[in-house]
Amino acid sequence: MSAFRRIRAVFLLVSLSMVATAVLLLSPLPSVMDIPFQTRPVLADELKETSGAAVVDVATYEGVINPVAAEYMAQAIADAAKDHAEALVIRMDTPGGLDTSMRMIIKEMSASEAPIIVYVSPVGARAASAGVFITLAAHIAAMSPGTNIGAAHPVSMGGGEMDKEMKKKVENDAAAYIKSIADKHGRNVQWAEDAVRQSVSATETEALKLKIIDLIAPDLPALLTAVDGRTVETASGRHTLQTKSAVVKKVGMSGRLEILNALSDPNIAYILMLLGIYGLIFELSNPGAILPGVVGAICIVLAFYSFQTLSINYAGLLLILLAVVMFIAEIKVPSYGLLTVGGVVSMVLGSLMLVKTDMPSMQISLWVILPTAVVTAGFFVGVVGMAWKSRHQKSVAGIEGFIGVEGTARTEINPRGQIRIQGEIWEAVSSEPIREGEAVEVTGVEGLKLHIKRSRLPDLPDRQAGGRAQK
C-alpha cells in the first residue's frame, strides 16, 4: 500500500478519534479520582461498630435501564444484604429501558433480604417506562418534589414496528406483570395497568394521592427520617426500619461498569459506528494496513453493544452508509463536488434519523453530528483536491516520465549515440550534432530509444567532468 493511502487512512481515524474523545470529555463521566479504588470494601457492620448507628446503603443511577444498570443494582442489593445494611436506597432517574434488564432488577429486589427504598430524585427526575415497574416493586417507594412517574407502555427497541397481534401480546404481558407487582406491594393496581395500556403519568403529589408511592421527601435525610419505624416484608421476613440517625454509605459503580455505561450513550455509539465503518472500508480497500481494520472491527463490536439499548431507524443507517459510498465515489468519479455535497446532506439527515425516539436524552446531539460531518467531508474534499492535482502533474513513472528530463551525452551523437540519464545509459537520436559530455534534454520516446536535443542550460564544467567520469 502506498504511503499516501496509509496517511489517508490514519488521518481519518485520528480525526474521528478526536471527535470521540471530545464527546467523552464533555460527557458527565466521573474522573479517575471519583472511582472508589479500595483494597478491601468497607462493610456496613464496621461502620455500625465505629459510629454506633445503623447504616443505609445509597446507590444512585441516572440513565437508561440496560445490562449495566441491572448489574449495578444487583450488586448493590447483594452488598446491602451481605453487609447487613438497615436498608438500600436506590436514587433513580430514568426514561426507561430494556425489559430484560428491568425484570432482572425486579427479581433481585424481590429476593433481597435488605429493605429496598426506590427514591425518584432529584428535582426534575422521572421514573418512566421500565422505571415505573422498578418503583412499584420497591418495599418503599418515594419521590422528590418536582418529579413524575408513568408512561409504561411497551415499545420496540429494535427500530421496527411490531404488528398488531405482537403489540397486543406484549402489552398484555406487561400489564399482567405490573398488576402483580402493584398488588403484591399494596399499590394502585388500576393505575398501574393504565400506565401500561394508556401511558398515563402522574406527578409526585398525584402519585401519593393515588397510592402509587408511599411518601414524598425533599432530600435523603428527610427520606430516612420519614421511613424510620416503618415495617416492611422482605425475603428474610418482617423488618422494622431504624433509619432516623443512620450513617449513609454511598455505593458507586466500578470502573468497568462506568466504561460500559458510557458506551451506551447514543453519541458514543454514533462515533463508534462511523469509526468502525471507515476503518473497515480503508482496510478492505488497502489490504495490509492492519491498523484501520483492527480499530474498525473493535469499534463496530462496541457500537453493536451500544445499539442494544437504542431504537435504531434503519432508514437513517442506510442514509449514513449512502453518504460513505458518495464520499468514496467522489474520489473515483470527477463529479465537481456534487457527490461530496450529497454525502454531507445524506450523513446529516441519516444521523438525525438514526435513533428513533421522542426522548431528547436518547437522541444524538446535533453538536456531535455537525462536527463529524464537517470533518468527514473536509477529509474527502482534501483527498479529491490532491487527486485532481496529481492528474494534472507530469508523469514521473514509466518511460514517459523521461520527457523533459536532462542528462549528459555519453558519446558523440550524430545522429545516434548514447546518453546517461538518471544513472542509466540509453540509446538516443538527435536532429543536431551533440558532442560528448554536452547537456541534453529528452523530447520524446520511441520504444527503447529517446529523442533528444541540446539542453537550453549552459554546459557546466562539472557536468562534463561528471559525464566523462562515468564513461
Q: Which sequence positions are flagged as catalytic?
A: 129, 169
Q: At a CB cut-off of 8 Å and minimum separation 6, what does 443 contact?
A: 403, 451, 452, 453
Amino acid at 135: T
Which cell numbers hold the place of 31? 474522573
CA 318, 321, 323, 325 dihedral sign is: negative
Which cell numbers hold the place of 323? 453518504
With cell 455505561, the residue in question is: 261
Whole-angstrom distance, CA of residue 316 vs CA of residue 132: 30
Residue ranges of alpha helices (H) inside 111-238 are 130-136, 164-184, 189-197, 204-209, 220-227
Dump strand ranges (E) for 50-176: 55-62, 87-93, 116-120, 126-128, 140-143, 148-150
Closest by CA position to 194, among listed 206, 202, 186, 185: 202
Closest by CA position to 58, among listed 277, 302, 252, 304: 252
Report the first-to-last Cα separation within the chain, whole angstroms: 38
What 3-state DSSP class applies to 251? strand
Beta bridge partners of 140: 117
How many alpha carbons lie under 13 Å from residue 322 in its C-beta half-sphere?
A: 18
Whole-angstrom distance, CA of residue 82 vs CA of residue 69: 20
Whole-angstrom distance, CA of residue 241 vs CA of residue 230: 6
Whole-angstrom distance, CA of residue 414 vs CA of residue 429: 8
- With 0-12 / 13-18 / 19 or more C-beta atoms within 10 angstroms meaning exposed / middle / buried, residue 271 is buried
Residue 60 · residue 89 · CB < 8 Å: no
